[in-house]
Amino acid sequence: MNEYKLSEEIERYLNGEMTKEERTAFDILRKENAEVNVMVTEHKHFTGLLKQYGERLELESRLDAIHREIDVHTLKEELMVHPSWVVQLWRSHHSKISVAASIAIFAVLGTLFFTGYLSNRELNYVRLRGEVAKIHQQANNLNEKLNRLNGSGRVISNPGKYRGTGFAITSSGLIATNYHVIEGADSVYVQNNAGKSFKAKVLYSEPENDIAILKIVDTSFRNLKPIPYTFKRLESDLAESVYTFGYSQEAPVYDDGKLTSANGLNGDSLDYQISIPINPGNSGGPLLDTRGNIIGIVQAKQTQMEGVHFAVKSSYLLSAIDSLEKKVNLNTKNTLVNLTPVQQVKKLKNYVFMVKVYDK
């Protein structure tokens, strides 16, 4: 039997086209001849695969036919999770945007650098003491007149050329103020609420943060009562009610407002921005929240925008205190916390000093 004949037989056998006798004979052949048996199995497998392949093609064409009835385009529109156009824009163009942004940043920084804007922060400020000097002159005149009117009265020590405010850090006579208040000073005096002046020396200063710490060295100075307020280490929140108390005039002045921005001029993270109407002489004064925490040092004002003022954050003051040679134990017990503003200020006034500076 040649292969062709055999293959025909196998096909007939598998398709069940053989007679009973032929089938029996073929079964015997399969059993006796292993080669034939393998051929039968192989043929069965192969034609089976062919058949399945055909069925698969048919199923696929059926599915394709069904698929053609679906309006895929409309469906797609409906089902797409549409990110906002910003996200889409970013996804499709992020490399271009990145390059553009880098160039823009570089250009802006370059321009700022070459125009000297970056190195000239001072230009934006008018130091409060400038204005203070002017007002001070008027105050002096008034004082003189008052003295003359009163004949003798209480002795008013000759006020210094510049005036700012300072507040006690410790009861032993450490006073915090702004650096610019005492900048270039020959001698510094602080004057308490009762009008008594004490000689002080500049213990420590940080011009870059506009912080100075004074120490009262006058022999007539007696230690203060325990400090009633505490110093806040964390940043305060926007819209928090804040107030200050300082010597914008001969007598101490209370002013309140809100914390309006966590950053100062040009995004300077050193400062808070506050909406308190700061007056000349407030520089160096304490900025407190309603619970009696010191949250900053009132600093300076911007020339262009009225009603915008700044305060150095208390965290900078705390790190300045930390860097003092002699370790300072700060008050941790806040006795102002539940008091009304009136009561708070009543206590506070004993700890806020006028800072007078005499030039060389």
Tokens 């101490």 map to which residue? Answer: 252
Tokens 């089938």 map to which residue? Answer: 23
Q: Is residue 52 exposed (0-12), middle (13-18) or buried (19+ Cβ within 10 Å)?
A: exposed
**Rounded CA separation 44/30 (Å):** 14
Q: Which is closer to another protein, CB of 63 or CB of 101?
A: 63
- As measured in angstroms, the least distance from the Cβ of 53 to another protein is 5
Q: Which is closer to another protein, CB of 44 or CB of 258?
A: 44
- As measured in angstroms, the least distance from the Cβ of 88 to another protein is 13
Name the pairing type of β-strands 293-302 and 230-231.
parallel
Q: Which is closer to another protein, CB of 87 or CB of 251?
A: 87
- Could you give the angle at the alpha carbon of 330 between the alpha carbons of 283 and 262, nearest 5°? 45
**Rounded CA separation 17/75 (Å):** 52
Residue ranges that bind another protein, judged by CB under 8 A: 4, 7-8, 46-47, 49-57, 59-60, 62-64, 66-67, 69-70, 72-73, 75-76, 78-81
- Residue 316 CA: distances (Å) to CA of 146, 296, 322, 342: 41, 9, 10, 28
Name residue 34's amino acid.
A
- As measured in angstroms, the least distance from the Cβ of 116 to another protein is 46
Q: Which is closer to another protein, CB of 17 or CB of 322?
A: 17
Closest CA relative to residue 247, chosen from 192, 183, 295 = 192
Judge contact between 125 and 178, C-beta under 8 A: no
**Rounded CA separation 74/234 (Å):** 55
- As measured in angstroms, the least distance from the Cβ of 27 to another protein is 23
Other CB atoms within 10 Å distance of the CB of residue 357: 23
- As measured in angstroms, the least distance from the Cβ of 87 to another protein is 13
Q: Which is closer to another protein, CB of 57 or CB of 234?
A: 57
- As measured in angstroms, the least distance from the Cβ of 55 to another protein is 8
Q: Which is closer to another protein, CB of 64 or CB of 306?
A: 64
Q: Is residue 359 exposed (0-12), middle (13-18) or buried (19+ Cβ within 10 Å)?
A: exposed
- As measured in angstroms, the least distance from the Cβ of 310 to another protein is 45
Residue 80 half-sphere exposure toward CB, CA atoms < 13 A: 10
Q: Which is closer to another protein, CB of 79 or CB of 155?
A: 79
Q: Which is closer to another protein, CB of 26 or CB of 254?
A: 26
- As measured in angstroms, the least distance from the Cβ of 34 to another protein is 19
